[in-house]
Amino acid sequence: MIVVLVMVVLIYGTVAVWLGALKLFQATSVQSYTDVDANIAMQNIVSDIHQAELYTLQNGNTRLVLTFPTVTANGWYDRGTPDPANTVTYYLSDATGNMANTGKYLWRNATKGVNRYIRKDVSSLTFATDNTTASTTASSLRVSLQTSTYSYLRTKTTTYQAIAAFLRNN
The pLDDT of residue 130: 67
Report d(CA 146, CA 56) in Å as an integer.
21
Query: H-helix or E-strand containing 71?
Result: strand 63-71
Report d(CA 168, CA 170) in Å as an integer.
6
Average pLDDT over residues 12-27: 84
Instruction: Work out the burial of residue 89: count CB atoms within 10 Å of its CB; fewer than 13 is exposed, 13-18 middle, 19 or more buried.
Output: middle
pTM confidence score? 0.78
153 or 69, which is more confident? 69
Please list, in sequence order, all residues whose beta carbon lies within 8 angstroms of the beta carbon of residue 19, skipping any fewer than 6 positions away. none
Hey, what amino acid is at 103?
G
According to DSSP, the β-strands at 54-58 and 135-136 are: antiparallel
* Contact between residue 142 and residue 163 where contact means Cβ atoms under 8 Å apart: yes
* Contact between residue 82 and residue 54 where contact means Cβ atoms under 8 Å apart: yes
Please give the DSSP secondary-structure letter assigned to residue 25.
Answer: H
Average pLDDT over residues 12-33: 82
Residue range 42-84, pLDDT digits in tens: 888 988 888 888 888 899 899 999 998 888 889 888 888 888 9
Report d(CA 141, CA 64) in Å as an integer.
10
Q: Residue 166: phi, psi to the nearest 5?
A: -100, 135
β-bridge partners, 96: none
